Amino acid sequence: MAQNPRILVTRRWPEAVERVLAERFDASFNVSDTAMDAAALAEALRSFDAVLPTVSDRLPASLFDATDIRTKILGNFGVGYNHIDIAAARARGIAVTNTPGVLTDCTADIAMSLLLAVARRAGEGEREVRSGQWAGWRPTHMIGTKVTGKTLGIIGFGRIGKAMAKRCHFGFDMDVVFYNRSKIDTAEASRYGARQMDTVEEVLAAADFVSLHCPGGGENRHLINAQRLAVMKPQALLINTARGDVIDENALIEALENGTIRGAGLDVFEAEPNVPERLRVLDNVLLLPHLGSATEETRTAMGMKVVENVTAFFEGRQPPDRVA
């Protein structure tokens, strides 16, 4: 690289990764770690050769309309990139990369944690103990639903969907069915103890637990709506570690309030970090603050993937994880 490119890292990243970025680039860091608004992001696109955003940065088509854009690459920290208007970035000749592969296990682990916790009412139990309200053991206290041997329905059989199938089938003897837009080879599916179904509805109707692992945005926005929630078994639980907009949040709140489904475990929300009060007051949901990839190992690996992508780009090589 002739001259170190100017790069902006929009949020705090693991220290080890920030150190490498500072060595390789003319790097600016968001030391206050506050989310950047549209004006700040527009200014970033004007001033930096690379902007390294995260899911908390909204980059809609309007931001790419400016005539004086300097940015040549958006090195996204995260596998999901529905917060970036990819078509608009591509039209401006801006490359976009993501971080697949390194967060598969940890995201599946969070989905599994939610599934177990919501089935066994761990959130409610914890709140009861902490508040000093626990009146002691009794045979009818806080009865949940058994996980082992039940049927898991997966929507989206990519890396994370497969990792979830593996955990549930081999760890909890679950029958696993899934919906995936493209056909998955039967032998490949059976490696995860899973069977493909033709429609989302078939999976929803068969499953005791439904876990979402498809990308957000586009056609998947409100994939789980009131009609589809009504197809689920009344005792079923819905787990979402994908993107908040895959579920119509208002329809879900109604389904949870009315007992259309038994409960939900959510790591992602439609308007993060805002979680509607009506959802927060419900006992039959377990709510996490988008922790899917939040382990030391994974967040560092995600950052290092961005470093590789951006380095390759500025050295004139193809970034390994280019999505636009």
Q: For ligand DGY, which is the closer residue by CB, 109 or 208?
A: 109
Q: Which residues pair with 266 in a beta bridge?
A: 240, 287
Number of residues in contact with ligand DGY under rule CB under 6 A? 8
Closer by beta carbon to ligand DGY, 103 or else 232: 103
**188, 157 Cβ separation under 8 angstroms:** no
Burial of 175: CB neighbours in 10 Å, binned 0-12, 13-18, 19+: middle
Q: What is the DSSP string of 75-142?
A: E-SSS--TTB-HHHHHHTT-EEE---STTHHHHHHHHHHHHHHHHTTHHHHHHHHHTT------TTTT
293 binds ligand DGY (CB under 6 A): yes
Catalytic member of 18, 254, 272, 308: 272
Asked if 17 is part of the footprint of ligand DGY (rule: CB under 6 A), the reply reads no
Burial class of residue 234, CB neighbours in 10 A (0-12, 13-18, 19+): exposed
- Is 141 catalytic? The answer is no
C-alpha closest to that of 76 among 63, 68, 67, 85: 85
CB of 42 to ligand DGY, least distance (A): 21
**Contact between residue 23 and residue 3 where contact means Cβ atoms under 8 Å apart:** no
For every residue of 164-227, DSSP letters joined together read HHHIIIIIH--EEEEE-SSPPPHHHHHHTTEEE-S-HHHHHHH-SEEEE-S--SGGGTTSB-HH
User: Is 290 annotated in the active site?
Assistant: yes
Residue 121 catalytic? no
- The dihedrals phi and psi of 287, each to the nearest 5 degrees, come to -120, 125
Asked if 292 touches ligand DGY (CB under 6 A), the answer is yes
Cβ-based nearer residue to ligand DGY, 277 or 296: 296
Reported as type and span, the H/E element at residue 286 is: strand 285-287
Q: Which is nearer to ligand DGY, 75 or 78 (CB)?
A: 78
Residue 210 sits in the site that holds ligand DGY (CB under 6 A): no
Q: How far is the CB of 323 from ligand DGY (least distance, A)?
A: 12
Token digits of residue 45: 């696109």
Phi and psi angles of residue 288, each rounded to the nearest 5 degrees, phi first: -120, 150
Ramachandran area for residue 57 (φ above 0: left; ψ -120 to 50: alpha; else beta): beta
Confirm if 23 and 43 have CB atoms less than 8 A apart.
Answer: no
Catalytic residue (choose from 228, 243, 262, 299):
243
Residue 5 or 292: the one with the smaller Cβ distance to ligand DGY is 292
Give least dist CB 12 to ligand DGY, A: 14
Q: Are 183 and 196 contacting, i.e. CB atoms less than 8 angstroms apart?
A: yes
Binding to ligand DGY by CB under 6 A, coded x per residue (else -) over 175-194, reads: --------------------
In the set 9, 17, 55, 74, which binds ligand DGY (CB under 6 A)? Answer: 55
Question: In this complex, which beta carbon is closest to ligand DGY, that of residue 79 or of residue 164?
Answer: 79
Q: Which of residues 56-115 bind ligand DGY (CB under 6 A)?
A: 78-80, 103
The least distance separating ligand DGY from the CB of residue 171, rounded to whole angstroms, comes to 23
Q: Which of residues 231-270 bind ligand DGY (CB under 6 A)?
A: none
CB of 79 to ligand DGY, least distance (A): 4
In the complex with ligand DGY, the residue whose CB is nearer, 106 or 189, is 106
CB of 81 to ligand DGY, least distance (A): 8
Binding site for ligand DGY (CB under 6 A): 54-55, 78-80, 103, 292-293
Report the catalytic residues.
243, 272, 290
